[in-house]
Amino acid sequence: MKAHSSEVEVFVRIRPTADFSRGRQVVECLPDGQTLNIHSRKDSRRPWDTRKSQSSYWSFQLEGVLQNISQEDLYGRVCRRVVLGALDGYNGTVMCFGQTGAGKTYTMTGSTESYEQRGVIPRALQEVFREVEKRTENSFSVYLSYLEIYNETLVDLLSSRGSPCPSPRGMVVMEEPGGGVFIRGLSYHPVHSEEEALNLLFEGELNHIIGSHALNRNSSRSHCIFTVHIESHSRSSLSAKYVASKLNLVDLAGSERVGKTGSEGQMLKEAMYINKSLSFLEQAILALADRRRDHVPFRQSKLTHALKDSLGGNCNTVLVANIYGEAAQMEESLSTLRFASRMKCIQTNPAVNEHNDPATQIKKLKKDVQRLKEELSIYNTVAKRSGITYDSLSEAQLAEIHHQVQGYLEGSLDEITIVSIRQVQAAFAQFKCTVQKRGQAAKAQLSQTDNLVEKNPRPNKTAIKVGLHPLGELHSRGSIEPSPQSPKHTHRRSSIKSNKSKDKLSQSKTAVEPSPVSRKHLESVSKSKLNFLQTPEQEEESHEPDTESQDAPESQPPGEEPLHHDSPPSKAEAFEDFKAGPGSKSNCILKENKGVLLERRGLLRQLSEEINAVKGEIDCTAAAIRRQEEMGEGQGQYLVTELRELKDHYRQRYKVLRDVKSEINYCQQLVDQCRVRLLSEFENWYKKSFLVPEDELDITMEKTLEQQKDSQQSSEKVLEEDKLLPDNSKSFYNARYRILKKRNTRALSFTPGVQRKSSGQRRLPQILPVS
């Protein structure tokens, strides 16, 4: 076989005969062994025809004209190179074409009685196993299949051996993504020796559907494709690459003219099928030979479809055209030779079929990874870097990276030490996540602020009402430690604490984060509060009477007369009060919106289940239709109608589902908005009710300091001579300063006029009902 053959190789084999065309028709084989000339002279039998005779002449140039050639020589000239190519990974096809009885089966299978007269197939099998034994550097796997196409039906000639996976749906010609063809349902038999392979060949021969025929009683009435599948793996290399090829040995059914063979009934039907499929083969070959044609009609018949990847392409293809040498068959012989000439024009580009074995590939890659890890660990040792692993990060490692990233963002960690690429990637992922979260929060807050500014410029009645609360009853519950980050901020330390207030303090510390309550941090504060503030549902479930609610101040109606405290109540407690009082309206809206959201979610769940059920029905119906098609029963009309109805229903419900989903998104936004509003109102109310505005506190402090100074000056005057007393006086004035400060603070923080004057306190308008 040529290394880069450009055409299909075509040989002609002339069947030996006693009456080798002499007289009027002459078959002439030129000494070059490649040219066949045919001379024909027809005498007119019609008396009125003045032309006594018509003569014609044809010359065919082929790869070889084989006359009186032995089976062995034929194999050597025609087939050996294709077989050796298949062992190297090239697909190969040897095909016999010609008139019935011209010697196709003799060429392919040969005589089963005489070893000398055995044909191409047994010789090819012998050659394959001899080569397998010789080529010890590779390990070969050989499989056989034997397909017959009879009246457009695919028959497995080896099915009696028991296919390992017989297809219940019959055999179908299938195409692989790379352009290859295989027969689904055809049995493939592994063989390990020439004898095993011959057993299968002869068994397949027995299963042939043979029809009696006027010209040749043993002539096959079907096309037979005997395929040797060869897979070769290199024993030495660890590479996942391997080569796989198939060698198709094709014995086509003979084309005969119906009138000439006298076929009738079943025979006539067979002849028609054969003629039809051979004519489709001819069309496919014409299209293949014409380089301007993009489309080759392979799917017109089972034969052309099954031979799609065996007629050209990357395949080594050889055609043997079998003809009679007798004058009586000259018309058929001419037709065969014309077919052969067309076949000669087909271009081929033989190529090795290389594949990757996924299992070996994985094994090899694992080995590579292991080797690289070892190499890296050597580098790390040299660079004195220890404890570095290259496996996936564990949960604990991921948590540590998260912690580091948060610390870095907050400023408590100056830099993150890079230890591995995985760690860097995980850190970047954390950064991304944090940036996205913050972006969303900022967006939500911005839209909330915009809404509030646009929709409700009214003053907050609730806040004014809170401002009217009597001063003396505040700060009775305990205190909150001032935030270390903002010592001069709003919280004050209560210097004398009762046991009860100490307990409360410890609870408050765990429950409430003493964070600054500036507008800037509203969102993050609100979010942190969301963690401990219960959802309406949870609130309802866990609502228990507060033991401290028995206290007189708390028994007053909330929102009207606030409790008296030495220090502000914990935010959690205050929030409860707020929700029941001034924030009740906002809380109510939040609850309502949550209710709608829950209801919509329930609906979404129901719809999803319903849609999935319909989808299941669609799949079942489609599968039933497919089954019917494959079994050739045709589509049941009722199934098609049902499928259409199901699909309509599915589309309708899906549309509703989409609407509900967008409603849910909208509701979720409303709920989030309401929650943020409620919390920001609360923060505002809390500041107004329990904390002193910054500017007022500054004024108070200044005044107090002046008084302290005055008092100190007067004391200094009185006790001028007694220099032992200043320490006592210092403590005294310090204590007095604190009391004054507290009084001033109380007086200032709960004077409505002062509160309204305070520019540091921004007020949020009342939440509008959400429609």
Residues 442, 750 contacting (CB under 8 angstroms): no
Min dist CB 33 to ligand ADP, Å, is: 17
Q: How many CB atoms lie within 10 A of CB 380?
A: 15
Min dist CB 11 to Mg ion, Å, is: 17
Separation between Cα atoms, residue 577 and residue 98, nearest integer Å = 102
Of 201, 215, 227, residue with least CA distance to 257:
215
| Closer to ligand ADP by Cβ: residue 109 or 476 | 109
| Closer to ligand ADP by Cβ: residue 322 or 700 | 322
| Closer to ligand ADP by Cβ: residue 267 or 388 | 267
216 touches which of ligand ADP, Mg ion, none (CB within 5 to 8 A by kind)?
ligand ADP
Min dist CB 281 to ligand ADP, Å, is: 16
Residues 145, 230 contacting (CB under 8 angstroms): no
549 touches which of ligand ADP, Mg ion, none (CB within 5 to 8 A by kind)?
none
What is the SS3 assignment for 423?
helix
Separation between Cα atoms, residue 93 and residue 249, nearest integer Å = 6
* Tokens of residue 459, six digits: 């003053």
| Closer to ligand ADP by Cβ: residue 331 or 539 | 331
| Closer to ligand ADP by Cβ: residue 150 or 750 | 150
Residue nearest to ligand ADP (CB): 103
Determine if 25 is a binding residue for Mg ion (CB under 5 A).
no
Beta-bridge mates of residue 465: none
Q: State the pairing for strand pair 35-43/53-61.
A: antiparallel
| Closer to ligand ADP by Cβ: residue 166 or 262 | 262
Exposed/middle/buried for residue 762 (C-beta within 10 Å: 0-12, 13-18, 19+): exposed
594 touches which of ligand ADP, Mg ion, none (CB within 5 to 8 A by kind)?
none
Residue nearest to Mg ion (CB): 105
Separation between Cα atoms, residue 69 and residue 50, nearest integer Å = 44
Total number of residues binding Mg ion (CB under 5 A)?
A: 4
760 touches which of Mg ion, ligand ADP, none (CB within 5 to 8 A by kind)?
none
16 touches which of ligand ADP, Mg ion, none (CB within 5 to 8 A by kind)?
ligand ADP
- Please give the torsion angle defined by the CA atoms of residues 736, 739, 744 and 746, in that order, rounded to the nearest 10 degrees: 180
| Closer to Mg ion by Cβ: residue 146 or 682 | 146
How many helices (H) and strands (E) would you count in the chain?
A: 22, 15
| Closer to ligand ADP by Cβ: residue 87 or 319 | 319
Min dist CB 357 to ligand ADP, Å, is: 40
Min dist CB 220 to Mg ion, Å, is: 4
Q: Chain-centre distance of CA 87, in angstroms? A: 37
Give, in degrees to the nearest 5, the angle at Cα 57 between 56 and 62: 150
218 touches which of ligand ADP, Mg ion, none (CB within 5 to 8 A by kind)?
ligand ADP
Min dist CB 310 to ligand ADP, Å, is: 19
Min dist CB 214 to Mg ion, Å, is: 15
Min dist CB 249 to Mg ion, Å, is: 13
Amino acid identity of 716?
E
Residues 119, 186 contacting (CB under 8 angstroms): no
Phi, psi of 56 (to 5 degrees): -135, 160
Min dist CB 108 to ligand ADP, Å, is: 8
| Closer to ligand ADP by Cβ: residue 75 or 578 | 75
Min dist CB 34 to ligand ADP, Å, is: 19
Of 154, 144, 150, 156, residue with least CA distance to 220:
150
Min dist CB 212 to ligand ADP, Å, is: 13
Min dist CB 28 to ligand ADP, Å, is: 19
Interface mask (CB under 5 A) for Mg ion, residues 192-231, using x and -? ---------------------------xx-----------
101 touches which of Mg ion, ligand ADP, none (CB within 5 to 8 A by kind)?
ligand ADP
Q: Chain-centre distance of CA 294, in angstroms? A: 33
Pick out residues in 2-21 that bind Mg ion (CB under 5 A).
Answer: none
N- to C-terminal Cα separation, the chain: 84
Interface mask (CB under 5 A) for Mg ion, residues 99-138, using x and -? -----xx---------------------------------
| Closer to ligand ADP by Cβ: residue 67 or 751 | 67
Give, in degrees to the nearest 5, the angle at Cα 673 between 762 and 435: 90
Phi, psi of 138 (to 5 degrees): -120, 150
Place of tokens 């005997």: 226
Min dist CB 24 to ligand ADP, Å, is: 24
Q: How many CB atoms lie within 10 A of CB 469?
A: 20
Beta-bridge mates of residue 228: 144, 247
Pick out residues in 48-107 that bind Mg ion (CB under 5 A).
Answer: 104-105
| Closer to ligand ADP by Cβ: residue 215 or 287 | 215
Amino acid identity of 102?
A
Give me the DSSP letters along 523-573. Answer: HHHHHHHHHHSPPHHHHHHH----GGGGSTGGGSPTTTSPPPBSSPPPHHH
Separation between Cα atoms, residue 30 and residue 145, nearest integer Å = 39
Residues 659, 616 contacting (CB under 8 angstroms): no
| Closer to Mg ion by Cβ: residue 105 or 304 | 105
Separation between Cα atoms, residue 25 and residue 722, nearest integer Å = 158
Beta-bridge mates of residue 36: 29, 60
Interface mask (CB under 5 A) for Mg ion, residues 498-517, using x and -? --------------------
341 touches which of ligand ADP, Mg ion, none (CB within 5 to 8 A by kind)?
none
| Closer to ligand ADP by Cβ: residue 104 or 741 | 104
15 touches which of ligand ADP, Mg ion, none (CB within 5 to 8 A by kind)?
ligand ADP
Residues that bind ligand ADP (CB under 6 A): 15-16, 98, 100-106, 216, 218-220, 254, 322
Residues of the shown chain interacting with Mg ion in the complex, contacts defined by CB under 5 A: 104-105, 219-220
